[in-house]
């Protein structure tokens, strides 16, 4: 009888805790007059069971390396996560990742949901709120990130675990909805996860049959379970999201599955407890309204007029389960890591540096230098050489390409690099297949796991990756996006593969560092800058065709790349009549025009501008030294859209660039057709000089 009463008491406490999560979501959205309470109401028991019984997470140190990861891919349900962070007592961290002892989310933070300056924004943001593992909202990105996190977990275990020292064994859980599984990035990520047999990955699919658009069956009638079985996943079903025993059985089944990822399909009723809005997109996309909120609370047995109520016993319940389990596991892990460090000091040092995004000592040793060569080599080729040199010095630098391992020079070829494949998880070469969308999302998942990831594909297909690139910049993570075939210079493949507007588009992304180096030695210097980035992603844009390697005894050192733009060649007096500027392969064209102008007695300067973003962050004095305001006759040369160059050439300047799409033809024919010749640049310089007078 006593045991029965104790069981009943525990069940009551479970229900009380679940309804606390639900009502916090209701009240936060109602106060903000904005938000999506329906999904948090429905998924509260699903999250409660996972966190309280299974999730391995120390609330006092939310960056413990072997913590389980929780990703809310359906980020519109953000109040579910914020409520969980609050009731679980997650602590905040400072800028260096050290716990502060203060709550990551307080009750006041929940009351300020979706308000200016709040750490409870409309969709979860990585780096803003401790316990948020990645920025989610654009549907499909979160589940894509979760695959990167799972890859990181497998790789860390394969590389660093030793007999008697299982440092890495964490699992990755991701909540997702219909939208995540409709978006192509989610499909791509699921396919690759199944191929890689990532048994540490569990997606929990909220099968609520509703989208913001309306009923899901307006557009989505596929058999999701059958699709995931075809992907190679373990597929489980929970008939009722409120059935804690069935949920626990599903999570335990995931933990027992050692050869594939798991999808748990959970049937739920969105807006659970809201009698008039259940199973409607109203409950999904907007606050319930005062009357509906009261009715929902009444159905939970909640005081109808209570706002932001957290009953006695709820916080203690989470501390007794979730909190104590995580703290004990973390303490045990810390002792294990201390002993590991005594036996494996070099490996332990690597892990500490990785955790803080610090580079190894001597990370830049043995970088290649390239002698002057009129024929030169493609910057994708020189980048491949630099990448392989750097990767031998930075053991956690890893990546790969989408279908282009032989074309974009991103393969690591040195002994021990290996391939990351199912059952062989220590390799550093990733094979993404023809999945650019997922590649970008997975890269971000690797980056938030503190590996240093890179990817490669044709520059034109950066469009497929744009949401992930944007999120990397927003999250301030140092992912490296390598793009080759950077202009019409790729030739016969034609306009479908020739990027025109992509440079302007990526240059517009805040916090993204874009480099388009002009020769092999600029590539080396670009990599030096990129590897030192800790809070910014980089895009490295490279040529397919060979470009000359400049004679640095005649022209300026490539070290100027570190300042974004520099004077490569100058008039003898240092006072030019005209400035020719460009990036990438067109800088050699500027140099050819410079030599011709000099021969004609026209004083010219060539400015290489591999990174506008870095140049803009230089002092005004430096910018004026490179681009003297008094020199109005300026010419920009770039085989891309001219959008953005006006800020540098001014009203009197000329822009030699692309104003249409490209064409299919050999490169020399294309350059002549679109005006990328020495004579055209010289002509533009003369016109600029005449106009400036």
- Residue 281 has a pLDDT of 45
What SS3 string covers 447-481?
HHCCCEEEEEEEHHHHHHHHHHHHHHHHHCCCCEE
Q: For residue 481, what are the contacts with CB-CB under 8 A and spacing of at least 6?
A: 440, 443, 454, 455, 462, 465, 469, 472, 537, 538, 539, 540
What are 644-662's pLDDT values in tens digits? Answer: 999 999 998 999 999 999 9
What are 494-527's pLDDT values in tens digits? Answer: 999 999 999 999 999 999 999 999 999 999 999 9
Task: Select which of 436, 522, 525, 586 is catalytic.
Answer: 436
- Residue 283 has a pLDDT of 46
CB distance 175 to 206 below 8 Å: yes
Q: For residue 524, what are the contacts with CB-CB under 8 A and spacing of at least 6?
A: 367, 368, 369, 370, 382, 386, 558
DSSP secondary structure of 257-269 = --SS-EEEEEE--
Sign of CA dihedral 112, 116, 121, 122: positive
Q: For residue 203, what are the contacts with CB-CB under 8 A and spacing of at least 6?
A: 143, 146, 173, 174, 175, 176, 190, 261, 262, 263, 264
CB atoms within 10 A of CB 630: 7
pLDDT > 60? residue 172? yes
| Same fold for the pair 2-331 and 561-692 | yes
- Residue 208 has a pLDDT of 83
Ramachandran class of 530: left when φ > 0, alpha when ψ lies in -120 to 50, beta otherwise: alpha
Q: For residue 557, what are the contacts with CB-CB under 8 A and spacing of at least 6?
A: none
Sign of CA dihedral 287, 292, 295, 299: negative
- Residue 273 has a pLDDT of 62
- Residue 405 has a pLDDT of 74
What are 268-309's pLDDT values in tens digits? Answer: 887 666 665 555 444 456 888 999 999 999 999 999 999 999
Which residues are registered as beta bridge partners of 655? 636
- Rounded CA-CA distance 444/141 in Å is 9
What are 108-149's pLDDT values in tens digits? Answer: 999 999 999 999 999 999 999 999 999 998 999 999 999 999
Which residues are registered as beta bridge partners of 263? 203, 235
CATH class of domain segment(s) 373-548: alpha beta
CB atoms within 10 A of CB 301: 9
What are 567-579's pLDDT values in tens digits? Answer: 999 999 889 999 9
What percent of the chain is predicted at pLDDT more than 70? 96
CATH superfamily of 2-331: Thiamin diphosphate (ThDP)-binding fold, Pyr/PP domains (3.40.50.970)
How large is the angle between the packed helices 678-692 and 586-599, nearest 10 degrees?
60
pLDDT > 80? residue 209? no
CB distance 254 to 202 below 8 Å: yes
273 vs 223: which has the higher pLDDT = 223
- Tell me the CA distances in angstroms from 547 to 24, 378, 382, one per residue in order: 60, 6, 10
Helix (H) or strand (E) segment spanning residue 152: helix 141-160
What SS3 string covers 340-399?
HHHHCHHHHHHHHHHHCCCCCCCCCCCCCCCCCEEEEEEHHHHHHHHHHHHHHHCCCEEE
- Residue 483 has a pLDDT of 97
Confidence of residue 2 (pLDDT cuts 50, 70, 90): very low
- Residue 524 has a pLDDT of 98
- Rounded CA-CA distance 369/423 in Å is 38
Nearest to 638 by CA among 687, 678, 691, 584: 584
pLDDT > 50? residue 599? yes
- Rounded CA-CA distance 106/89 in Å is 9
> Tokens standing for 198?
């990532």
Which residues are registered as beta bridge partners of 582? 608, 637
- Residue 353 has a pLDDT of 97
Q: For residue 682, what are the contacts with CB-CB under 8 A and spacing of at least 6?
A: 593, 596, 597
Nearest to 569 by CA among 550, 583, 542: 550
658 burial class (0-12, 13-18, 19+ CB within 10 angstroms)?
buried
Quote the radius of gyration of the chain (alpha carbons, Å).
28
Number of continuous H segments (helices) and E segments (strands) in the chain:
25, 22
Q: Comparing 44-48, 270-274, 387-391, which segment has the lowest mean pLDDT?
A: 270-274
- Residue 217 has a pLDDT of 82
pLDDT > 90? residue 556? yes
- Residue 1 has a pLDDT of 25
Backbone phi, psi, residue 526, to 5°:
-65, -45
What are 415-447's pLDDT values in tens digits? Answer: 999 999 999 999 999 999 999 999 999 999 999
Q: Is 436 a catalytic residue?
A: yes
Average pLDDT over all residues of the chain: 94
In this structure, what is the dihedral angle of CA atoms 110, 112, 117, 122, given to the nearest 10 degrees?
70
Nearest to 379 by CA among 568, 583, 609: 583
Domain assignments of the chain as residue spans, ordered by start? 2-331, 373-548, 561-692
Q: Comparing 6-15, 18-27, 293-302, which segment has the lowest mean pLDDT?
A: 6-15
CATH 3.40.50.920 for domain 561-692: yes
Nearest to 73 by CA among 136, 120, 20, 24: 136
Backbone phi, psi, residue 437, to 5°:
-55, -55
């Amino acid at each position: 009888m006593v045991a029965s009463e104790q069981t009943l008491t525990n069940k009551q406490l479970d229900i009380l805790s679940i309804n606390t999560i639900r009502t916090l979501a209701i009240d936060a959205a109602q106060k903000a007059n904005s938000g999506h309470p329906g999904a948090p109401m429905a998924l509260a028991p699903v999250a409660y069971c996972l966190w309280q019984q299974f999730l391995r997470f120390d609330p006092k140190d939310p960056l413990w390396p072997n913590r389980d990861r929780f990703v809310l891919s359906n980020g519109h349900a953000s109040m579910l996560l914020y409520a969980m962070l609050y009731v679980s007592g997650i602590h905040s961290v400072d800028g260096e990742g050290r716990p502060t002892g203060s709550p990551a989310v307080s009750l006041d933070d929940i009351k300020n949901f979706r308000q200016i300056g709040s750490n409870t924004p409309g969709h979860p943001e990585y780096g803003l709120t401790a316990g948020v593992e990645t920025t989610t909202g654009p549907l499909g990105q979160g589940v894509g990130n979760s695959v990167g996190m799972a890859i990181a977990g497998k790789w860390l275990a394969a590389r660093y675990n030793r007999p008697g020292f299982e440092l890495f064994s964490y699992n990755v859980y991701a909540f997702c909805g219909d939208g995540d599984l409709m978006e192509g990035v989610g499909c791509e990520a699921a396919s690759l996860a199944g191929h890689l047999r990532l048994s540490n990955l569990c997606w929990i699919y909220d099968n609520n049959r509703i989208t913001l658009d309306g009923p899901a069956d307006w557009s989505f009638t596929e058999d999701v379970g059958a699709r995931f079985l075809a992907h190679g996943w373990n597929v489980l079903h929970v008939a009722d999201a409120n059935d804690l025993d069935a949920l626990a059985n599903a999570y335990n089944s995931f933990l027992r599955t050692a050869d594939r990822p798991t999808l748990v399909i959970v049937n739920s009723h969105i807006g659970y407890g809201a009698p008039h809005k259940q199973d409607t997109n109203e409950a999904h996309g907007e606050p319930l309204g005062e009357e509906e909120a009261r009715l929902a609370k009444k159905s939970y047995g909640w005081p109808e007029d209570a706002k932001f109520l957290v009953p006695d016993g709820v916080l203690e319940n989470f501390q007794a389960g979730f909190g104590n389990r995580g703290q004990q596991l973390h303490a045990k892990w810390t002792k294990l890591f201390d002993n590991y460090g005594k036996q494996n000091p070099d490996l332990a040092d690597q892990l500490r540096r990785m955790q803080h995004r610090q580079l190894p000592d001597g990370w830049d040793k043995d970088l290649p230098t390239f002698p002057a060569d009129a024929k030169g080599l493609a910057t994708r080729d020189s980048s491949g050489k630099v990448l392989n040199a750097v990767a031998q010095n930075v053991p956690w630098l890893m990546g790969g390409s989408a279908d282009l391992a032989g074309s974009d020079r991103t393969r690591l070829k040195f002994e021990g690099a290996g391939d990351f494949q199912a059952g062989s998880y220590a390799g550093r070469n990733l094979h993404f297949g023809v999945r650019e969308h997922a590649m970008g999302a997975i890269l971000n998942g690797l980056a938030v796991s503190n590996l240093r990831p890179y990817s490669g594909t044709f520059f034109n297909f950066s469009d497929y990756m744009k949401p992930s690139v944007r999120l990397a910049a927003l999250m301030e993570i140092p992912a490296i996006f390598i793009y080759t075939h950077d202009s019409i210079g790729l030739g016969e493949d034609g306009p479908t593969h020739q990027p025109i507007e992509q440079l302007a588009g990526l240059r517009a992304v805040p916090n993204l560092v874009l480099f388009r180096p002009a020769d092999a030695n600029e590539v080396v210097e670009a990599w030096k800058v990129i590897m030192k980035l800790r809070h910014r992603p980089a895009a490295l844009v490279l040529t397919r065709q060979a470009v000359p390697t400049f004679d640095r005894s005649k022209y300026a050192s490539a070290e100027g790349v570190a300042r974004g733009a520099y004077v490569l060649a100058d008039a003898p007096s240092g006072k030019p009549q005209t400035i020719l500027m460009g990036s990438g392969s067109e800088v050699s064209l500027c140099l050819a025009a410079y030599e011709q102008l000099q021969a004609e007695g026209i004083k010219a300067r060539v400015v290489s501008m591999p990174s506008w973003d870095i140049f803009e962050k230089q002092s005004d004095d430096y910018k004026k030294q490179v681009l003297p305001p008094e020199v109005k006759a300026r010419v920009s040369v770039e085989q891309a859209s001219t959008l953005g160059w006006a800020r540098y050439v001014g009203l009197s300047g000329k822009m030699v660039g692309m104003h249409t799409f490209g064409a299919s033809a050999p490169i020399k024919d294309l350059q002549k057709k679109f005006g990328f010749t020495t004579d055209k640049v010289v002509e533009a310089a003369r016109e600029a000089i005449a106009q400036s007078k």
